[in-house]
Each structure stands twice: as structure tokens, then as C-alpha cells.
Amino acid sequence: MPKLYKSIQSINTNSVSNAFQKAIESIQPDIVHCFEMQLSGLPILPIMEQNSIPLIYSSWGSDVYYVKQLGGVSKHQLACFYKRANYLITDCKRDYNLATKNGYANQFLGVFPGNGGLTIDDSKIKSFDNRYLILIKGYDDGGVGKASKVLEALQLVPKKLLLHKHIVIYSADDTIQEQIKQSKALLTLGITVYSRYSFIQNEALLAVMGQSCIHIANSLSDGMPNALLEAMSMGAFPIQSNPGQVTEEVITHTENGFLITNPLDETEIATHIKNALNNNALRQRAQDFNTDFIKMHYNRATLQLQIQNLYTAIK
């Protein structure tokens, strides 16, 4: 609802600008680091255009890839923001290419996960034979999240494959809970739902991932999903949508996971679930590969020094 969003932002932006101006005057920062453009960057842009403080912009989620579809950002605003941002960090290669294509011409600092990397507790990673959960990310807000299609797909999976499995849906929108209540087929399955509006400690969610044989997340748009990287780090076999070919930066289809080509096709998703559950050898190989891959490329202990050096190198 772009018109409603703009009317709300016209009030919100003024309060953000005033508070940000006061913070600038009080703190006198050496650097301003903005995570996400639409909600964080544009409200402070008028203030930043009046100073020369170095501005780092970290793209987040659908911030670059889905900006036109989400609405709320004009071409002029986009051009002005890209011009003012001195430095760019992205969470995937795709978004760097898109940003430069759309006019960003200043310095690129590299690709880093949005959460700064993962701290992995090996003791929470269950062995292959002790994984009985199917874990589903439950975003389905009428926007980019399409968990409803995953639930439709589950109803197409032979029940014998779901025997002795328990389904856990986390960060679930209310529409997902309603979909389950309205489906006789889903009500016959063992399902636990954690609402999107109920806070779960990240350590607890990682422990659930460490018990999951499969992790499924489906959306029309995303950056490099932190939840995907976390699930891979904990050994869960990933079945993930691939908007703008971003997920294929870490998943090779049929080798260490399955890529969903059409997030609106429940039949395709069901096929991936069936193939994953029927192929123990594939999932076991993927578990070993993915846990090693994440430790090598997304370990917070390794990335921490790189990020610290990144800040100190800025002038």
C-alpha cells in the first residue's frame, strides 16, 4: 500500500530527521553506517546532504533487488542516495551488480553477511541419524514471503515420507496459522508453530536447526538470507527460493541443496521435499559440505577482524 506508506513516512521521517540531527550534533561521529535504504537511509538523507561525514550503506534483504516492486522509492531518491553514499557493503554479489547498474559509482567495501557472520556451536549440530524435524520459515505477509506455498506443497508429499517427522514453522505470520486451521490434511500432521510476533532467542532457533533434516524458505525476493546460512551451518538440508540468482551463490542445485525456481509453484516445491526425504546419501553429503563451507566463509571469528579493518581504513 504505497500511498498509505508514504503518508505514514511523511510523519515518521520528520521525527527521524530531527532526532538524527540532534544525534549528529551530540556525538559528532567519524562515520555514519546505514543498514537498509528505505527505512533507515532515506529519512536521514536530507541531513547527510548537509555534511561531509563518510556514509556507509549496507544493502539489506530486498533493498536493492525488489526496490521497484515494493514502491516508496522514486528514481530521484535512489539517485540522490547512491550519490551521497560514499561506501557500499552488500550481503551478496547480486546486489553489488544491481547497485552499480542503477547508478552507484563510489567505493565498494565487499560482500559481508548482514549479521556479521555466525558463531557456531558444534555441540548443537545433531548427527545425520538424529534429525527428525522439517523446519519452515513462516513469512507470508502478502508481500515477498510465500510460506503458504510450502504448506500447499506439504499436502502433495506422500504421508509415508512424513511419518516420524515433526514440522516446525518459525516466524509464522497469522495467515499461516489460519491456513493450517482450515486444512484437514495439515491438521493430521505434527506441526508446531512459532508466531512471527513471539520472540525466539537466536541460540534456541539454531538448536532447532541443528535437529532438522530439512530447512525450507520460500520468497519472491531476498538478499542473502541469514536464516539460510544459519540452517546450513547447523547441517539442515536447504530448500530455498533463488530470487535474482542470489541463493545459487552458496547452493549448487542437487549437490548441497535444492533451489526453488518458481516460488509460486507448490508442485515444484513438493518435488524438492520428496526428493530430499528420499535421498539420505545426498542429505548426508550436503550436511558435511555445508557445515564446513559456512565455517570457512561465514565464521564470525574470521570476519570480525576484516570488518574492524574495514572501518579503520575509511577516511
Tell me what pLDDT residue 14 has.
65
Contacts of 17 (CB under 8 A, 6+ apart): 43, 44, 46, 47
pTM comes to 0.89
In the structure, how many helices (H) and strands (E) does the chain have?
Answer: 14, 10
If phi > 0 it is left, if psi is from -120 to 50 it is alpha, else beta; for residue 142 that is: left
Tell me what pLDDT residue 238 has.
98
Tell me what pLDDT residue 74 has.
85
Strand order in the sheet with 87-90: 32-35, 55-58, 87-90, 107-111
Question: Which stretch of DSSP H or E encloses residue 161?
Answer: helix 159-162
Tell me the per-residue pLDDT of 39-64, one tens digit each, with 9 for 90 and over: 889 999 999 999 999 999 999 877 88
Burial bucket for residue 54 (CB in 10 Å: 0-12, 13-18, 19+) = middle
Residue with the three cell numbers 518459525: 170
Question: How many CB atoms within 10 Å of residue 190?
Answer: 14
Question: How many CB atoms within 10 Å of residue 88?
Answer: 23
Tell me the per-residue pLDDT of 171-193, one tens digit each, with 9 for 90 and over: 999 999 999 999 999 999 999 99
Half-sphere exposure of 270 (CA within 13 A, CB side): 14
Q: Which three cell numbers stand for residue 167?
A: 514440522
- Amino acid, single-letter form, for residue 265: D
Tell me what pLDDT residue 253 has.
98
**Range list of β-strands (E), the chain:** 32-35, 55-58, 87-90, 107-111, 133-137, 166-172, 191-195, 212-217, 237-241, 258-260
Residue from 144, 121, 157 nearest 230 by CA: 121
Tell me what pLDDT residue 258 has.
98
Tell me what pLDDT residue 4 has.
72
Q: Which residues of the chain have pLDDT under 70?
A: 1-2, 5-6, 9-14, 69-72, 142
Residue from 152, 150, 130, 148 nearest 140 by CA: 148
Question: How many CB atoms within 10 Å of residue 50?
Answer: 9
